[in-house]
Amino acid sequence: MNVRHILTTVFLFIVLSSASAQKISYLQSLSAPNQWVDSVFNKMSKRQKIAQMFFVRAHTNLGKAYEDSVGLVIKKERLGGVVFFQGGPGRQAVLTNEYQSHAKVPLLITSDGEWGLGMRLDSTISYPYQMALGAVQDKNLIYKMGLEVAKDYKRLGMHMNLAPDVDVNNNPKNPVINFRSFGENKYNVASKASAYLKGMQDGGLLVSIKHFPGHGDTDVDSHYDLPQLKFSKERLDSLEIYPFRELIREGAAGVMIAHMNIPALDATPNMPSTLSKPIVTGILKGELGFKGLIISDAMGMKGVVKYFTDGEADVMGVIAGNDILELSENSGRAIKLVRKAVRQDRISMERIDESVKKILTAKYWSGLNLKDTINEHNVLADVTRSESLQLRQELADASMTMLRGKDYIKTLSPENRTVIISIGTPNVTLFQQDLGLYYKNSIFYTLDKNANANAIAKVMKDINMFDQVIIGIHDTRTRPGNGMVLSEDLRMFIKDMAGKNAVFALFANPYNLSALPGLENSKGLVVAYQKEDFMQQSAAAVFKNKLITTGRLPVTVNTFFKYGDGEKPEIILP
């Protein structure tokens, strides 16, 4: 490469970087004159304006009849956007092009991607869950993850990620947030969420922090019922709302409202926060000064329609101050009812116009003012980039949290006779295979989650022949919640081995440690947070003394394992 070529490349890089840096944020664009927004807005009827506020559910794994029915709704009702759920990336790219072709005003395309595309789409990358990211100390890695997620979303023609989750999970029994949270500490949650949010927004993606005013201290899933928060306004303001306040200050483009009853903020009986004007308009817009997009949680969830039926929830959601109502039970009915409410002076057109202009500005900011189609070729390869996979491994490495064994693990020798056991799965794991390449004189055992005393006895009779015991405890469920299932015999086996010379890796939500007594006495214990192969690879590196653990426990489990715990072993090079 000659000097002129190098200088040209450097110049182009500076120009492109400068152009990217000069793009104003979505929030800044709301106060800037916009000819495209005004032009589209002025051509809309009242009904078309109302329709912009409703987003419909879409899948690419439910067959052509379902896909066509959604397309018909988009064409007939002229809705504002689409929320994609399960399916595949290539199919979604094709279907997005089709749906956009039906729309008179371009659709804003969104989905939930708290841990990336893999939260909804097969074959794509799932980054570590937010609970694991809460353990990571290098925020720059999380910022880079945000940039990568933005690339993936834009490649599929999506404009908004309904993430990150900024709930402070201070209730270990929370059935709906839990591992989706960065943890129990409000400062840690705000810090990690900020890094993820900035990465996505710097990558040109709209975001929606959720679930306002905070879903972390509930023991009810709002998909199935209406949770109630009975805390004082002072407590909510100082704890639950803290991350929202900080991220609003830092320029979050969107906020999603939770379905929760909070008497201290709105005393109306059975009133979900989504439908509460005192909460949405009074607190979020008024007290916190939020000017961006306000998105309801899914409007078909029992937490919102249990007490407000037959479309009344949709009307009240608009009155409350939501800009986007996602996944109404019946969007056609909702649009008619909102029109009726306007005629009855329950809702002013000025209130609706405000939301529509915010939605159209979001579409302009996302580039939808320019006609374009998604390239339908090589989609999967483009969203499974090698640099993304490498970053995922770096995040996994950085999450490894050593709770016991700083000095003991470094004494493990690759020359010693080693037994490597996987508990919770009938199959030999990648954790075992990886360690087996290092501990050459080793043998594998597996004990399924229902293993009884007889199966365990067969393993026990051989253990005394070995110098070292390494045990992986695996939660094989799709999502790493609480209540990992292990037989009582297995729990006794774990307690017995913890009192001897065994070292452990937990591939599960750390809250599960509370149901595994004895591990506090173990010679070594590493929390690896989830079952995925990339976490097993990182944990194996720890037990090979090739990875320095830097993770810190993001939640308190019990008196033995508390928020912030985590040891740093010395590194021993091979």
In a 3-state reduction of DSSP, which class is residue 506? strand
Q: Which residues contact 324 (CB under 8 A, 6 or more apart)?
A: 53, 54, 55, 80, 81, 293, 294, 295, 296, 355, 359
Distance CA 52, CA 354 (A): 12
Return the pLDDT at 10.
43
Please state whether beta strands 401-404 and 524-527 pair in parallel, antiparallel, or not at all (unpaired).
antiparallel
Spatial CA neighbour of 438 closest among 572, 532, 541: 541
In a 3-state reduction of DSSP, which class is residue 354? helix
User: Omega into 227 within 30° of 0, i.e. cis?
Assistant: no
Return the pLDDT at 358.
98
150 and 176 co-located in one domain: yes
The arithmetic mean of pLDDT across residues 177-196, rounded, is: 97
Query: Each residue of 344-395: pLDDT tens digit?
Result: 999 999 999 999 999 999 999 999 999 889 999 999 999 999 999 999 999 9
End-to-end CA distance of the chain: 39
- Taking every pair of C-alpha atoms in the chain, what is the biggest distance, in angstroms? 83
Return the pLDDT at 3.
46
Please report which confidence band the pLDDT of residue 570 belongs to, taking 50, 70 and 90 as the band edges: low
The arithmetic mean of pLDDT across residues 133-152, rounded, is: 98
- Dihedral angle computed from the Cα positions of residues 320, 322, 328 and 331, in that order, rounded to the nearest 10 degrees: 100
Please provide the DSSP assignment of 140-180 as one string. HHHHHHHHHHHHHHHHTT--EE---B------TT-SSSGGG
SS3 content of the chain, % helix, strand, coil (to 5): 45, 15, 45
Look at residue 471 and tell me if it is in a domain. yes
User: What's the one-letter identity of residue 316?
Assistant: M
343 and 472 co-located in one domain: no
Look at residue 339 and tell me if it is in a domain. yes
454 and 532 co-located in one domain: yes
Query: Each residue of 237-295: pLDDT tens digit?
Result: 999 999 999 999 999 999 999 999 999 999 999 999 999 999 999 999 999 999 999 99
How many CA atoms lie within 13 Å of 430's alpha carbon, on the beta-carbon side? 11
371 and 500 co-located in one domain: no
445 and 329 co-located in one domain: no
260 and 313 co-located in one domain: yes
Distance CA 494, CA 515 (A): 11
Higher pLDDT, 474 or 221: 474
Look at residue 3 and tell me if it is in a domain. no
CATH of the domain at 500: 3.40.50.1700
419 and 344 co-located in one domain: no
The domain in which residue 382 lies consists of 34-386
Q: Which residues contact 92 (CB under 8 A, 6 or more apart)?
A: 60, 84, 121, 156
Please provide the DSSP assignment of 385-449 as one string. -HHHHHHHHHHHHHH-EEEE-TTTGGG--TTS-EEEEEES-SS--HHHHHHHHHSSSEEEEEE-T
184 and 306 co-located in one domain: yes
The arithmetic mean of pLDDT across residues 129-145, rounded, is: 98
Looking at every residue in the chain, the average pLDDT score rounds to 93
Of the residues 353, 386, 419, which one is the last residue of a structural domain?
386
CATH of the domain at 222: 3.20.20.300
367 and 434 co-located in one domain: no
Return the pLDDT at 518.
96
Please report which confidence band the pLDDT of residue 571 belongs to, taking 50, 70 and 90 as the band edges: low
CB contact burial 49-85 (16+ within 10 A = b; e otherwise): bbbbbbbbbbbbeeeeeebeebbebbeebbbbbbbbb
Instruction: Write out the two tokens for 249.
Output: 């200050």
Query: Is the overall model pTM greater than 0.75, yes or no?
Result: yes
Query: Each residue of 285-340: pLDDT tens digit?
Result: 999 999 999 999 999 988 888 899 999 999 999 999 999 999 999 999 999 999 99
Look at residue 558 and tell me if it is in a domain. no
193 and 312 co-located in one domain: yes
Return the pLDDT at 23.
80
How many structural domains compose the chain?
2
Tell me if 60 sits within 8 A of 95, measured CB to CB.
yes
Look at residue 135 and tell me if it is in a domain. yes
Look at residue 4 and tell me if it is in a domain. no
Return the pLDDT at 225.
83
Look at residue 27 and tell me if it is in a domain. no
89 Cα distance to chain centroid:
18
Query: Each residue of 443-488: pLDDT tens digit?
Result: 999 999 999 999 999 999 889 889 999 999 999 999 889 999 999 9
Token pair 């570590």 in the structure block, residue: 128
Of the residues 352, 386, 420, which one is the last residue of a structural domain?
386
Question: Can you give the length of the chain in residues?
Answer: 574
User: Omega into 211 within 30° of 0, i.e. cis?
Assistant: yes
128 and 249 co-located in one domain: yes
Look at residue 573 and tell me if it is in a domain. no
pLDDT surpassing 50 at residue 75: yes
354 and 499 co-located in one domain: no
Query: Each residue of 17-73: pLDDT tens digit?
Result: 433 445 899 999 999 999 999 999 999 999 999 999 999 999 999 999 999 999 999
